[in-house]
Amino acid sequence: MKIKWIDGFSIRVSIVNGAAVIYANKEGLLSLADQLTDLAEESTGSHIHYDEHNALEEGSAEMIIEINNREK
């Protein structure tokens, strides 16, 4: 899966009171939406790993989003 970004995107992830909070501008949110749509078409276990070295602002918490198509 190719990860695409809209020019000018900005995303930061913080842990606040035990919850992950995503702060993003419009370009960041649209980029994430497109990536999640693509991820939804992948097989169970496929994931996207975000951190400050590949997409997030410096100081951000890591974020991994994984698809799980297993039935309950």
Residues spanned by the domain of 19: 11-66
Q: Is 51 domain-assigned?
A: yes
Query: What burial class does residue 26 get, using C-beta atoms within 10 Å of its C-beta: 0-12 exposed, 13-18 middle, 19+ buried?
Result: exposed
Q: Is 71 domain-assigned?
A: no
State the DSSP code for 28: H
Q: Is 32 domain-assigned?
A: yes
Mean pLDDT, range 32-53, rounded to an integer: 96
If one counts the domains in the chain, the total is 1
Q: Is the pLDDT of residue 50 over 90?
A: yes
Q: Is 5 domain-assigned?
A: no
Band of the pLDDT at 72, cuts 50, 70, 90? low
pLDDT tens string 8-28: 999 999 999 999 999 999 999
Q: Is 3 domain-assigned?
A: no
Q: Is 72 domain-assigned?
A: no
Q: Is 2 domain-assigned?
A: no
pLDDT of 1 reads: 82
